[in-house]
Structure 1
Amino acid sequence: MPEYSVLSVPKAEAPATLDFAVESVGQPATPKLDRQTLTPFEAVVIEQQEEVQVVARRMPIRLIEPRDVAPGTAGDTAWGLDAIGALQSKFTGAGAVVAILDTGIKAGHPAFSGIEIVQEDFTGEGNGDWHGHGTHCAGTILGRDVDGTRIGVAPGVTKLLVGKVIGEKSADSTMLFDAIDWAVRAGADVISMSLGIDFPGYVSRRILIDKMPTEAAVSDALEAYRNNLRMLDAIMGMIHVGGNYGRDAVVVAAAGNESMRPRYKIAASIPGAALDVVAVAAMQPDPAGGYGVTSFSNSLPQLAAPGLEILSADAKTDKLIKMSGTSMACPHVAGVAALLWEALTKEGLEPTGANIKARLLATAKRDKIVAGTTGTDIGQGMVAAP
């Protein structure tokens, strides 16, 4: 039988001396996220229960894989740091807690020297980074200098939560939901995700393994995809609006690399398409000066950031390596979110996810964007460090 994620909010019991619910005096109940093996009929029945918010069938997730591009376009430095103003910022992200949900991390890489790294494996394959994707993304967010080269947007961050949700053999949406829940409860102020739900993979499995007709497989996948989006929307709503978790994290995700401009553009994928998630497009240096959107970057993001030939930590060599993709753009925005966490704190403002997101969008820049680039390509513009 298929596995489902079940999100519920149990009613809190009021003290015996009160005859009204605890929620009514500002104490929201804590969400509960369970995995259950159910028949489709049982899933429908369970979702009718008063405490249940969403029931979503498990779907595969996958890396937003780095793209192969012609070398030499962006030079031999971490050019993105200068492009977003991180090199000129007086902030370092000190005090912010960052979470990255990815392939794991090579904690012993020199880029993470002196950082408290808390790892949680949701794949059952153990900690560590089998791919190198998570290590590279983490390096862009907060990496220390490697052999004299700066790679991190927010090198003052001293605590990193690493949720391994993509293993070599296993990766699904239940792991992702569990990891988001874990990260918020563990105190994350910023959550970065360079991954997406694998809709084509789900369809293929239903056809090839479950022997479903193509039309039925696509319909089934659409229903599962819709419910997974509803699940993410509900979780994000509880983080940002309801206060159920007792804290408010800003969540950033890659928009996706499925486009092939100018032939066609694909819209931002889940989780980037979910409520209150900041979806990030990828930018590249333009030969005439300024910055343009990359050919592979998906449309309908909220922000854009450097994503071509990004220099960061290499899990295989302890040195540095270049990768390209919206996966590489996403951690630039997560790093700036950490800088803003520190900036808002020093301004005497509460650094909530909502406040950080609002500042991210309000301070994005368009002055160096090539002509003809629209909001459907880059959202509010290039992210800018405070």
Structure 2
Amino acid sequence: MGDRYVVLRDLTRTFTAGPLEARRTGGGPGEPHLEMVDLSKSEARALAAEPGVAALAPSMPIGLPIDVDGDEPPAPTDVTWGVAAVGAAGSGRTGEGSLVAVLDSGIDAGHSAFAGMEFVQKDFTGDGNGDKRGHGTHVAGTVFGRPVEGIRIGVAPGIRKALIGKVIRDAGGGTTDALLEAILWATQQGADVITMSVSFAFTKAVEEDVAEGLPVFLATARALEAYRANLRLFDSLMRMLAERSAVDKGTLVIAASGNSSMREVNPAFEVGAELPSAADGVLAVGALQKVDGLLDVTRFSNTFADVCAPGKDVFSARLGGGLSAKNGTSMAAPHVAGVAALWWEELRDALPPTSVVRASMVTNRLLAAATGSGFVPDADLADIGAGLALCPP
């Protein structure tokens, strides 16, 4: 029995190899197709050379970004500080007509924050729909939650329908093949925006191999090889999805950058954006906090973000009802997803009826509208990217 591999095929193209070169044949946008197979090392090498195979990589564990604890802050009285900071409270847009996919631990669909909404749910874990972790419910509340106890928590509360892909198991954790399948499913469902507050569990991959008897250095090397292969696979998939946007609207993919930095120990203790946010074409989101009335990157937020949003003391829907505060880039990414939903609505109304709003147009508007104002004087552009994401006025 070999390792579990994720195989990405392009059904519209073949790949032919000569003695000195590899050449792709076929034209038009790619049509991605995923397969999960058990392969030995030699079988994986042979499969990689087959026509139409764009990339393959061992399946790796994924999980929720490292939890970031903190004291429970005072509850807001009318609107969360994140919704206010991105300008949603004063925007003339609500995200109406936009379709957002949340790929996370599922959702508590009966929560009052989602009253009147329509959900298309799909489970990629085998545990069934629904949220037992609370993480996906909190994330979804920030994207499109209705007011709870008189407090506005959602950036885009005008969204009426959403896609919920469950990629984190009830006991925690998941796999890259489930995440990739969920991304492809969401694009096929017509999602305007996909938001992912998950990360690759590199250390868990090492621990699993060590538990099977491999020395630590070898287990680490294997995990590094798998991570590199998965980065290439994600890059290939995102390129194919970008090609599809030449003939349809495409999908804006957003991901949390990760919570592995430790600036509270040493300002130099920073970690770059993790997969899936590190892939080409994925918008990596860093987390912000308030310091003496100014914005600053949180101590935990990974660097090299493309854009940033509030990620500390964020109140949103709590599993079972009510509200709770959480910290993390997991909380920042759904703010940007909500902002993107408002930009989709803005462009749909601004362009002629015969025009197609494309994901690239929304991405450009979102990044152009982001601001570097209101930050502490020493804010690092590598940490905040284009700056704080802002909604259309």
Return the TM-score normalized by structure 2.
Answer: 0.91
Cα distance 1:310–1:375, how it changes in 2: closer, same or farther (>3 A)? Answer: same
- The CA distance in 1 between the partners of 2:180 and 2:247, in whole Å, is 14
- The CA distance in 2 between the partners of 1:2 and 1:162, in whole Å, is 29
- The CA distance in 1 between the partners of 2:275 and 2:201, in whole Å, is 9
Partner residue in 2 for 1:18:
none
Cα distance 1:245–1:131, how it changes in 2: closer, same or farther (>3 A)? Answer: farther
The alpha-carbon deviation at position 270 of structure 1 amounts to 0.3
Partner residue in 2 for 1:352:
358
Alignment partner of 1:376: what SS? helix
- The CA distance in 2 between the partners of 1:284 and 1:73, in whole Å, is 15
Alignment partner of 2:386: what SS? coil
- The CA distance in 1 between the partners of 2:324 and 2:148, in whole Å, is 11
- The CA distance in 1 between the partners of 2:221 and 2:170, in whole Å, is 28
The alpha-carbon deviation at position 203 of structure 1 amounts to 0.8
User: Does residue 1:223 correspond to 2:229, yes or no?
Assistant: no
Consecutive unaligned residues of structure 1, counting only runs of 5 or more, are 14-20
Partner residue in 2 for 1:95:
97
Query: 1:66, 1:327 within 8 Å by CA — same for their partners in 2?
Result: no
Partner residue in 1 for 2:369:
363
Aligned to 2:113, which of 83, 108, 111? Answer: 111
User: Does residue 1:310 correspond to 2:311, yes or no?
Assistant: no
Partner residue in 1 for 2:179:
176
- The CA distance in 1 between the partners of 2:75 and 2:151, in whole Å, is 15
Consecutive unaligned residues of structure 2, counting only runs of 5 or more, are 15-23
Cα distance 1:12–1:254, how it changes in 2: closer, same or farther (>3 A)? Answer: closer
The alpha-carbon deviation at position 331 of structure 1 amounts to 0.2
Aligned to 1:155, which of 150, 154, 157? Answer: 157
Cα distance 1:75–1:233, how it changes in 2: closer, same or farther (>3 A)? Answer: same
Alignment partner of 1:50: what SS? coil
The alpha-carbon deviation at position 208 of structure 1 amounts to 1.5
Query: 1:239, 1:247 within 8 Å by CA — same for their partners in 2?
Result: no
| Structure 1 consecutive aligned stretches of length 4 or more whose deviation exceeds 2 Å | 10-13, 21-24, 70-77, 241-247
The alpha-carbon deviation at position 71 of structure 1 amounts to 3.3
Alignment of 1:139-288 (within 5 A): 139-169=141-171, 171-209=174-212, 211-243=213-245, 246-262=248-264, 263=266, 264-287=269-292
Give, as a single letter, the amino acid of the residue that structure 2 aligns with 1:52: V
Return the TM-score normalized by structure 1.
Answer: 0.93
Cα distance 1:22–1:95, how it changes in 2: closer, same or farther (>3 A)? Answer: farther
Alignment partner of 1:87: what SS? coil
The alpha-carbon deviation at position 29 of structure 1 amounts to 5.0
Alignment of 1:367-382 (within 5 A): 367-382=373-388
Give, as a single letter, the amino acid of the residue that structure 2 aligns with 1:42: E
Deviations 1:55-90 (A, max 9, x none): 110000000144111333785651111111110100
Query: 2:66, 2:260 within 8 Å by CA — same for their partners in 1?
Result: no
- The CA distance in 1 between the partners of 2:127 and 2:73, in whole Å, is 36
User: After the TM superposition, which of the residue ranges 253-262 and 193-202 deviates more from structure 2?
Assistant: 253-262
Cα distance 1:182–1:101, how it changes in 2: closer, same or farther (>3 A)? Answer: same
Partner residue in 1 for 2:72:
71
User: After the TM superposition, which of the residue ranges 354-363 and 124-133 deviates more from structure 2?
Assistant: 354-363
Query: 1:74, 1:285 within 8 Å by CA — same for their partners in 2?
Result: no
- The CA distance in 1 between the partners of 2:25 and 2:41, in whole Å, is 34
Aligned to 1:385, which of 376, 380, 391? Answer: 391
Partner residue in 1 for 2:127:
125
Alignment partner of 1:335: what SS? helix
Partner residue in 1 for 2:21:
none
Query: 2:286, 2:307 within 8 Å by CA — same for their partners in 1?
Result: yes
- The CA distance in 1 between the partners of 2:40 and 2:191, in whole Å, is 35
Give, as a single letter, the amino acid of the residue that structure 2 aligns with 1:110: S
- The CA distance in 1 between the partners of 2:301 and 2:246, in whole Å, is 34
Cα distance 1:233–1:278, how it changes in 2: closer, same or farther (>3 A)? Answer: same
Cα distance 1:75–1:142, how it changes in 2: closer, same or farther (>3 A)? Answer: closer
Give, as a single letter, the amino acid of the residue that structure 1 aligns with 2:271: I
Query: 1:30, 1:245 within 8 Å by CA — same for their partners in 2?
Result: no
User: After the TM superposition, which of the residue ranges 342-351 and 116-125 deviates more from structure 2?
Assistant: 342-351
* Paired residues, number: 374
Query: 1:140, 1:312 within 8 Å by CA — same for their partners in 2?
Result: yes
Query: 1:30, 1:244 within 8 Å by CA — same for their partners in 2?
Result: no
The alpha-carbon deviation at position 32 of structure 1 amounts to 1.2
Q: CA RMSD in A?
A: 1.9
The alpha-carbon deviation at position 158 of structure 1 amounts to 1.0
Give the fraction of aligned pairs with identical amino acids, expressed as a percent: 43
The alpha-carbon deviation at position 241 of structure 1 amounts to 2.7
User: Does residue 1:37 correspond to 2:41, yes or no?
Assistant: no
- The CA distance in 2 between the partners of 1:116 and 1:66, in whole Å, is 30
Query: 2:249, 2:356 within 8 Å by CA — same for their partners in 1?
Result: no
Cα distance 1:146–1:74, how it changes in 2: closer, same or farther (>3 A)? Answer: closer
Cα distance 1:219–1:22, how it changes in 2: closer, same or farther (>3 A)? Answer: closer
